[in-house]
Amino acid sequence: MYTELKQELYKLGHRKLPWWIISFLILFMIFMGLAMGRDYSKLLVMTCYDSSQAIMLILVVVGSTIFSMEFQNKTILMVMYRASNKGAVYLAKFITIFIYNVFLHLVAMLVTIFFNTVPILVNPVAWSTTYKYQQSLFINMIATTGVDIVTSTLIISLICLTSCLINSDTIVIVVNALIIFMGSTLSVNLLNANIGPIKLIRWNPLNMLNLTTQYYNYATYHLTSMLSSTQLLIGTLCYTAIFTILGYLIFRRKSF
């Protein structure tokens, strides 16, 4: 699988889209800094200027093209011809998107460190300042980033699954973007509809998208998700595994 992963990373690194779209992430962070103002300096630093949704959207745009565009252009045939097996190709693509996910989070942290050093958008806050969970602000930022990598990996598994189901990258982008922006709201509506056992419905996959926001705002989102942060973490990991495996099974049976 090393050869397949090397090829996927090479293709990703030599495309323009994954690089220039980072400017969207930085502009989004600047917008959040201007919108929330200097009164929320600590929260902005902890959440890397609320970069979570922007990163997920970027993953959807870039990640969907890794699968769907190769299906549309039939270049997947060349990839499959050179690969040892379908599993290696699928896993290499998944890991490539995951590595890009980690890279985007590192960029968000570096930009946050810059903004918290240079007083452009917010009043700089000492990294040793105690904030959430009786931890320093720096640890808060690292922990929130780690939690968000788990949440965004769930989105990656959905990207892989929907890309294997649908050949059109446009449709894949629209579907996953709707999940990102409306998933949490749909889950809340489902929980408030009283159409079944709440203890079971609260484990729906859309509810797991609350993991990051609940981590840094537990008091509010715990009432919304009706699950603890630990339960959300477990659910997110389980659904990530399920969607990844389903995507692989569909990819293996897909005719090219």
pLDDT 10s digits, 224-239:
889 999 999 999 999 9
**Pair 76, 161: CB distance under 8 Å:** no
Q: For residue 93, how many other CB atoms are within 10 A of its CB?
A: 26
What is the domain partition of the chain in residue ranges? 2-253
Look up the pTM and report it.
Answer: 0.92
From CA 232, how far away is CA 151, in angstroms rounded? Answer: 10
Which pLDDT band holds residue 108 (cuts at 50, 70, 90)? very high
From CA 136, how far away is CA 146, in angstroms rounded? Answer: 15
**Pair 214, 221: CB distance under 8 Å:** yes
pLDDT 10s digits, 139-195:
999 999 999 999 999 999 999 999 888 888 888 899 999 999 888 888 888 888 777
Per cent of the chain over pLDDT 70 is: 93
List the structure tokens of 10.
């090479």
From CA 206, how far away is CA 179, in angstroms rounded? Answer: 8
List the structure tokens of 59.
């993953």
User: Which of residues 1 and 144 earns the better pLDDT score?
Assistant: 144
pLDDT 10s digits, 203-225:
999 999 999 999 999 888 888 88
From CA 18, how far away is CA 173, in angstroms rounded? Answer: 15
Burial of 127 (0-12, 13-18, 19+ CB in 10 A): middle
DSSP 3-state of 170: helix
Query: Average pLDDT of the chain?
Result: 89
Scan for tokens 């690194």, then name that residue. Answer: 13
Range in 19-23, 157-161, 167-171, 249-253 the model is least confident about = 167-171
